[in-house]
């Protein structure tokens, strides 16, 4: 039987609707949530992502402060901008689009962002809180993945979850979130000897590698929930995921499409974190 398609686009729209009420609550107190979006260089994919993030801010009434810096920007210049944004009252969240051009040290930049403005959740404070099961900013893509599972009634408790890819942006935090929900989690990566066997054991299969269709249909267990976090450009210029969607949907129980799955959810959760940052500073709680 063909899989249920997890509609990330619709779910993201629902989250944005809920956020509008939160933003109104802030607006009633004279507060406009502000997100600084820093883009260094000319990476075409990064430019597209940043444009979508800024557009969504506008739609919701979040003020976006765009900082487009040239490829030649030095580490010191970038750190100086971060310091200014850390000190700027109008800025509640700071996002530095990754990857940074060669020669810039992303880790040092992540360390420099004030913990209370780390809406991407990539800094040591946020990632530490995640490990400790303490409240904090959860990285947006893994957070979106968990929301998709939840929305479709897929409870990780007692299930075997396999995460393919060990990045700080997705794989590692997603594994922690699945563990938090009592899944038995396996992390796979380029040195995993038998990726197919691991994937076939997964009730929940999450893939975040960045290689088009690397997961074929025969790597998916019957009835599994498949969360595809890859965004790749196919030979025809269209977006394709890390999973061979057409083949996998014949075996999976649930599957996210690309586009229309993890992508829109990532942006929705970034908006969530930005509103969370603004509400926390105002001494208010999120209602969801």
Q: Which residues are marked as active site? A: 53, 97, 120
Q: Is 169 in the site for ligand GUN (CB under 6 A)?
A: yes
Q: Is 100 in the site for ligand GUN (CB under 6 A)?
A: no
In the complex, the smallest distance separating the C-beta of residue 143 from ligand GUN, rounded to whole angstroms, is 10
Choosing from 56, 126, 256, 266, the residue that interacts with ligand GUN (CB under 6 A) is 266
Choosing from 5, 31, 79, 98, the residue that interacts with ligand GUN (CB under 6 A) is 98
Provide the mask over 216-235, with x wherever binding to ligand GUN is found by CB under 6 A and - wherever it is not: --------------------
Nearer to ligand GUN, 175 or 220 (CB): 175
Q: With contact defined as beta carbons under 8 Å apart, do 275 and 286 qualify?
A: yes
Q: With contact defined as beta carbons under 8 Å apart, do 116 and 277 qualify?
A: yes
In the complex, the smallest distance separating the C-beta of residue 270 from ligand GUN, rounded to whole angstroms, is 7
User: Quick check: helix, strand or coil at residue 163?
Assistant: strand
Distance, in Å, from the CA atom of 257 to the CA atom of 275, rounded to the nearest integer, reads 27
Distance, in Å, from the CA atom of 175 to the CA atom of 161, rounded to the nearest integer, reads 8
Distance, in Å, from the CA atom of 142 to the CA atom of 188, rounded to the nearest integer, reads 16
Choosing from 7, 22, 118, 120, the residue that interacts with ligand GUN (CB under 6 A) is 120
In the complex, the smallest distance separating the C-beta of residue 28 from ligand GUN, rounded to whole angstroms, is 30
Distance, in Å, from the CA atom of 255 to the CA atom of 226, rounded to the nearest integer, reads 5
Q: With contact defined as beta carbons under 8 Å apart, do 247 and 276 qualify?
A: no
Q: Is 244 in the site for ligand GUN (CB under 6 A)?
A: no
User: Quick check: helix, strand or coil at residue 236?
Assistant: coil
User: Quick check: helix, strand or coil at residue 38?
Assistant: strand
Task: Find the part of the chain contacting ligand GUN (CB under 6 A) among 1-9, 14-22, 90-98, 156-164.
Answer: 90-98
Nearer to ligand GUN, 121 or 253 (CB): 121
Binding site for ligand GUN (CB under 6 A): 95-98, 120, 140-141, 169, 266
């Amino acid at each position: 039987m063909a899989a249920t398609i997890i509609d990330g686009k619709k779910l993201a729209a629902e989250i944005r609707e809920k956020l509008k009420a939160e933003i109104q609550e802030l607006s009633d107190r004279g507060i406009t949530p502000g997100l600084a979006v820093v883009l260094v260089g000319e990476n075409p994919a990064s430019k597209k992502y940043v444009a979508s993030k800024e557009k969504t801010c506008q739609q919701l009434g979040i003020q976006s402060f765009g900082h487009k810096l040239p490829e030649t920007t030095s580490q010191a210049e970038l750190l100086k901008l971060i310091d200014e944004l850390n000190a700027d009252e109008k800025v509640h969240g700071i996002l530095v689009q990754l990857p940074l051009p060669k020669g810039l040290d992303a880790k040092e930049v992540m360390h420099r962002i004030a913990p209370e403005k780390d809406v991407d959740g990539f800094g040591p404070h946020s990632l530490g809180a995640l490990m400790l099961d303490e409240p904090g900013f959860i990285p947006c893509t893994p957070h979106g993945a968990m929301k998709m599972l939840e929305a479709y009634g897929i409870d990780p408790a007692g299930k075997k979850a396999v995460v393919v890819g060990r990045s700080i942006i997705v794989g590692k935090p997603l594994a922690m979130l699945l563990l938090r929900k009592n899944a038995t989690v396996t992390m796979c990566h380029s040195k995993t000897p038998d990726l197919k066997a691991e994937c076939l054991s997964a009730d929940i299969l999450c893939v975040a590698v960045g290689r088009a269709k690397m997961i074929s249909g025969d790597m998916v267990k019957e009835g599994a929930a498949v969360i595809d976090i890859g965004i790749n450009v196919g030979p025809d210029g269209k977006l394709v995921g890390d999973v061979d969607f057409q083949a996998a949907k014949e075996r999976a129980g649930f599957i996210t499409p690309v586009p229309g799955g993890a992508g829109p959810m990532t942006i929705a959760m970034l908006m969530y974190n930005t509103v969370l940052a603004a509400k926390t500073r105002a001494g208010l709680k999120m209602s969801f």
